[in-house]
Structure 1
């Protein structure tokens, strides 16, 4: 008798902040995370990557200090407890040897059952079905715009357009909540390519649609300008002020509002900014990897999502540590050869750094911003990245992005939709 397992299977044995991950093909990989990070999130990340390769969910079997668990991990990173009732029993006398069948599925042969008669249980008495007294929560729909919105406001229902349906899907995606803090790094080794703009716009989308608790972190040694292009808060504080206060903020007695003295809240866009000090030289505000770890613990304590605005020094401790903590990379570039080449070189360097860097590069989202109304150059750059990243988006020319304060409401409707689409793409791997 044979039993077919409907999904490829991966295994993970967890020990503290490390794990041994065995791929469905039988390859063993060691995974490590920093103190304070959850190794299980990295395990699920790897399982989802293999699910994308197989084009089907992967059954993940984990073992460790929390017992043994069977999860079904989908290509988009979503997971749920796996149905193990159909699996053959594992015993010393009835073990099965897996072999790979077609399409990455495993086929296992089970030892013959004993000839002894089996006890047949009495059939269970089914309870009659009853209706629920609870009313399901209504689905949240985005409001139609233009003439459809005007007609809808007076009670005339018009079928939503394709653009409206896409916008509703993007909005639902970016409003999603996760268990634990997630991080997105906005990176490009060249200055003036739109990193600060991208960080602010993504933070605004996630905070406005997901209900706040989003931090935009200026992780820059060399005159980061995120503080210049966002609203100042009530206190004139920067990352250098937060660092010595970290132990107090991490204490059990710390309150959720205590972080407000160190960040700058954006009233309309609803996210907070952790500033660097652009008035200081880089030598006066460098932080170590240990400092970064402690700051990250504070960020994870008070925020559900952190968007890093990175500096240009890819050798800095804080830049490298940011990559170690990131779940997703967003790489902005202008529609110019120099900034696009810098972005491509960064992707190449990450692919060769280590397995985590290669995974981040493979799933990177590239954002090409039009510095002028013509879209020809932007389309050419975007086409060049199509085979080397997970998604490529073009941000249309918008005067509100060129200089001055960054406010989501100041953008044209077309530009707001473009940023919503970028944010939805970046969320897929979180």
Structure 2
């Protein structure tokens, strides 16, 4: 079918996230607006099928959707298939070839594989099995049956690789829902892999520290988003802990429970919480549950009249309690890398995360934070080398809504990300999203592109577990 589908006429089909679409045939645009994605796709396929019917042959269609680009073939009967990834070059088609001594079977482009002798003609499954068991050339000497028989321990009838689920998004997903089973795009496969990574369970508790000695570097939003994604996908009991030495802001950006307890109350009740007879549900007296994002928050002391600063010993106590009740601890931090509670947090850390907004002083503070840890050697230096840096676009350019300002913001985020790349394990860029600027932060309030970027960031963090 595809060999009959020529590049003329040139057909492009666009499927947008807002429920609209467009089919362009040889430069003539046909806008489509319908009640849902399926209706948009149905109208687009009708236009393309009519074109194929007028020509009396299949047509090739370049597709574009929020998930990427692709290439399909549509017949005059409306049958859809995915186009081959490559075509023979024009020169190969025109250059004469010497006649072969004997006709050969057509070849297909296949993934690189280990070289094995190929049969002279296509074979069926049964023939292939017989071919492996009975050599085509006669043996010089009879082989005893015991020498060729294989052990049952070396044989299994189980299929090791699961069947790939068809596409669910964009043109491919829409076509799958119409009955044309399409393979997922590379972007969808990458998202599935990130989901698989953050959904894993790991042995023992893990502690993530989110650090940058400069305020306004996006530490608290980073703590919230990583906690939300890892809790949602892995189902692991997760707590976000505000380890500011005095008063932090994590409690301002998250839901408050039916009490006002903080880390100091948890420390005061640590003996009871660590008692073997204490029920696991008792921890709810000290943490604040996030109803939609499925993680808990341990707030810092919010008493404005108080002057208590958390000590290293108190960090040890709180960490011991939390590791009994949670598998994942994500720690917010203050801006003083010299403070006792900051240093003790690093001692308990398994994975370091350094957030930075795309502003040069925030980036410089992030660099100095990593440099400080690296200079200490040992565990601290190892954390710095394996850190995940998360670069968020600046909000200032977004408020101006200037096209030039937006471009400069993206360019600056890219420049800063590229600068960190040689020095850490992973760097992830996050687009601007107004849902992260003010008020309580919730994953569902983010734009799809922002959710996808934070999923990639969480996957980079989870790889360090």
CA distance in 1, matches of 2:308, 2:185: 51
Q: 2:203 aligns with which of 148, 172, 179?
A: 179
Quote the residue 1:428 is aligned against.
463
Equivalent residue number for residue 342 of structure 2: 319
TM-score by length of 1: 0.66
- TM-score (structure 2 length as normaliser): 0.61
Shift of 1:153: 4.3
Shift of 1:280: 2.6
Q: Decide whether the 8 Å contact of 1:152 with 1:158 is kept in 2.
A: yes
Which residue does 1:278 correspond to in 2? 302
Residue among 382, 392, 411 paired with 2:446 = 411
Contact preservation (8 Å) 2:166, 2:173: no
* Displacement of 1:154: 5.0
Segments of 5+ residues of structure 2 without an aligned counterpart are 1-149, 399-405
Say which of 189, 202, 221 aligns to 1:165.
189
Give the paired residue count.
306
Q: Distance in 2 between matches of 1:132 and 1:389?
A: 43
Alignment partners' CA distance in 2, 1:137 and 1:291: 48
Would you say 1:243 and 2:278 are equivalent positions?
no
Q: Which residue of 2 aligns with 1:394?
A: 429
Alignment CA distance shift 1:382-1:237 (3 Å)? same
**Alpha-carbon distance, 1:188 to partner:** 0.2
1:380 aligns with 2:415: yes
C-alpha displacement of 1:238: 1.1
| Alignment partner, residue 369 of structure 1 | 392
Alpha-carbon distance in structure 1 between the residues aligned to 2:167 and 2:447: 17
Q: 1:360 aligns with which of 354, 359, 383?
A: 383
Deviations 1:209-248 (A, max 9, x none): 0014011101112431111111112222111111111111
Q: Establish whether residue 202 from structure 1 lines up as the match of residue 226 from structure 2.
A: yes
Separation of aligned partners in 1, 2:164 and 2:234: 12
Q: Does residue 349 of the first structure (1) align with residue 369 of the second (2)? A: no
Q: What is aligned with 1:288?
A: 311
What's the counterpart of residue 54 of structure 2?
none
Q: Normalized per residue, which structure has more helix?
A: 2
Q: Do the aligned partners of residues 143 and 176 (structure 1) sit closer, same or farther apart at CA in structure 2, a change above 3 Å counting?
A: farther
Work out which of the two has the higher radius of gyration on C-alpha atoms and give 1 or 2. 2
Q: Secondary structure at the match of 2:269?
A: helix
Please list every run of 5 or more consecutive structure 1 residues that lacks an aligned counterpart in the other structure: 1-125
1:142 touches 1:168 (CA, 8 Å); kept in 2? no
Structure 1 residues 140 and 285, CA, compared in 2 at 3 Å: closer, same or farther?
Answer: farther
For residues 357 and 261 of structure 1, do their structure 2 counterparts lie closer, same or farther at Cα, with a shift above 3 Å needed? same
Kindly report the root-mean-square deviation, in angstroms, between the aligned alpha carbons of the 2 structures. 2.6
Compute the displacement of 1:147 (Å): 4.4
Q: Hey, what's the Cα distance between the residues in 2 that align with 1:426 and 1:210?
A: 13
Cα shift readout 1:252-292 (whole Å, capped 9, x = no counterpart): 112221111111111111111111133436x6231221111
Q: Is the CA contact 1:362–1:390 (under 8 Å) kept in the aligned structure 2? A: yes
Deviation at 1:376, TM superposition (A): 1.1
**Secondary structure of 1:386's aligned partner:** helix
Cα offset for 1:144?
2.8
Matched position secondary structure for 2:208? strand
Partner of residue 305, structure 1: 328
Aligned partner of 1:257 among 281, 305, 315: 281
- CA distance change for structure 1 residues 320 and 138 in 2, over 3 Å: closer, same or farther? same
Distance 1:156 1:187, change over 3 A: same
Q: Where do 1:136-175 residues align within 5 Å?
A: 144-153=168-177, 155-175=179-199
Q: Alpha-carbon deviation of 1:130?
A: 11
Give the superposition deviation at 1:389.
Answer: 1.4
Deviation at 1:142, TM superposition (A): 10
Aligned mates of 1:308, 1:210 — CA distance in 2: 18
Alpha-carbon deviation of 1:140?
9.7
**3-state secondary structure, aligned to 1:223:** coil
> CA deviation digits over 1:376-405, x for unaligned, max 9?
111111111122211111101111111111
